[in-house]
């Protein structure tokens, strides 16, 4: 187990470094001058600066450094806990993330919880229902949930539950009520994927010998499905939960923009448009760290759910 953990930690470090490095060089390839974009957003043209002021500004933001030198400088700062200074907001990136991260964590956490409850609940009901017309109708809902774009779902929910019924606010990030529609919007695609995978899992395990034995012991269909079917059918779902964390983070960018929430997703969208390198790189580093941590926890949970699974490396 110790060797396995060390291996996973090494892989996690490589993933974090790769995500950070790729993002940096992609941002560098974007057209435009970050300083010019920043000044334009403040209502000032770069031509209004004297050569001395321009040189000072470029030196202050590290734009006078070469590509590799700036990359190493930013990476060194991250390794020492310094995420840098935002070019557009002129504030430490750590302070900005501390303000925005709770909103995104609340949205992502609520969406993950809703998607698990919705996906597992729908798959469980479909597997339990025996009336074919209803079973077919419910089984087709996950495909619809995956196919519908997130922005369309968000706009539809706003139209119905905010404008028509007035139950929830259409925008903002104040209070629990403002969290409901964004969380549901973000949860629907993941819930649909979970339901699809779990349905296939139920189909595979339903005719296994231990299921037949459970029925032979006199257990009801609900008892067999809850005690034996769900646990074994959910193993592929566990891996998928770790992978869907990344989709939830990326989906938060769209959802927070639709609902005008002041979270990390909206922050990174604004930072990309302004070519605010330190902010984008910091968000990528934090997101990659969360993704790696979740997947490591998922790997460690596998032997708990299925004792047949071990972390002993295979010998070829």
Domain holding 255: CATH number?
1.10.3720.10
What is the total count of domains within the chain? Answer: 1
- Containing 149, the helix (H) or strand (E) segment is none
The answer to whether 195 and 141 have CB atoms below 8 angstroms apart is yes
Distances (CA, A) of 53 to 56, 68, 85, 275: 5, 24, 19, 20
Find all residues with CB under 8 Å of 118, minimum gap 6, and list them: 187, 188, 191, 194, 195
Q: Which residue has the tokens 């139920």?
A: 202
Q: 213 or 16: whose pLDDT is higher?
A: 16
**Quick one: pLDDT at residue 56?**
74
Query: Tens digits of per-residue pLDDT, 23-66?
Result: 888 877 777 666 666 666 555 566 666 677 667 777 776 766 77
Q: 295 or 97: whose pLDDT is higher?
A: 97
Query: Tens digits of per-residue pLDDT, 188-231?
Result: 888 888 888 888 777 766 666 766 676 677 666 666 666 666 66
Reduced to 3 states (helix: H, G, I; strand: E, B; else coil), residue 259 is coil
313 backbone φψ class: left, alpha, beta (φ>0; ψ -120 to 50): beta
Let me know if residue 88 belongs to a domain: no
**Quick one: pLDDT at residue 316?**
40
Domain that holds residue 106: 102-273
Q: In whole angstroms, what separates CA 207 from the centre of its chain?
A: 35
Let me know if residue 226 belongs to a domain: yes
Let me know if residue 194 belongs to a domain: yes
Whether 122 has a pLDDT exceeding 80, the answer reads yes
Whether 275 has a pLDDT exceeding 50, the answer reads yes
Let me know if residue 223 belongs to a domain: yes
pLDDT band, very low/low/confident/very high, at 160 (cuts 50, 70, 90): very high
Let me know if residue 236 belongs to a domain: yes
Let me know if residue 249 belongs to a domain: yes
**Quick one: pLDDT at residue 314?**
46
């Amino acid at each position: 187990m110790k060797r396995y953990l060390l291996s996973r930690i090494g892989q996690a470090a490589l993933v974090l470094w790769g995500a950070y490095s790729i993002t940096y060089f992609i941002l560098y390839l974007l057209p435009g001058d970050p300083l010019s974009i920043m000044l334009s957003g403040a209502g000032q043209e770069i031509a209004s600066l004297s050569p001395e002021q321009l040189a000072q500004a470029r030196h202050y933001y590290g734009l006078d450094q070469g590509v590799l030198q700036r990359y190493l400088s930013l990476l060194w700062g991250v390794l020492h806990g310094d995420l840098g200074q935002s070019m557009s907001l002129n504030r430490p990136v750590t302070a900005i993330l501390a303000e925005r991260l709770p909103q995104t964590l609340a949205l992502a956490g609520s969406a993950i919880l809703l998607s698990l409850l919705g996906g597992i609940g729908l798959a469980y009901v479909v597997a339990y229902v025996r009336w074919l017309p209803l079973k077919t109708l419910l089984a087709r809902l996950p495909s619809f949930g995956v196919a519908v774009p997130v922005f369309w779902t968000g706009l539809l929910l706003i139209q119905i539950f905010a404008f028509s019924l007035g139950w929830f606010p259409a925008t903002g990030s104040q209070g629990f009520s403002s969290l409901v529609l964004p969380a549901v919007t973000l949860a629907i695609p993941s819930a649909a994927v979970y339901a699809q995978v779990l349905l296939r899992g139920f189909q595979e395990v339903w005719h296994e010998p231990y299921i037949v034995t459970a029925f032979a012991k006199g257990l009801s269909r609900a008892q067999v499905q809850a005690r034996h079917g769900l646990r074994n059918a959910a193993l592929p779902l566990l891996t998928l939960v770790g992978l869907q964390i990344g989709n939830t983070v990326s989906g938060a960018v769209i959802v927070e923009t639709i609902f005008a929430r002041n979270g990390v997703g909206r922050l990174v969208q604004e930072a990309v448009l302004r070519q605010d390198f330190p902010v984008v790189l910091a968000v990528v580093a934090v997101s990659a760290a969360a993704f790696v941590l979740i997947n490591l926890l998922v790997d460690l949970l596998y032997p708990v759910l299925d004792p047949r699974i071990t972390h002993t490396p295979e010998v070829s």
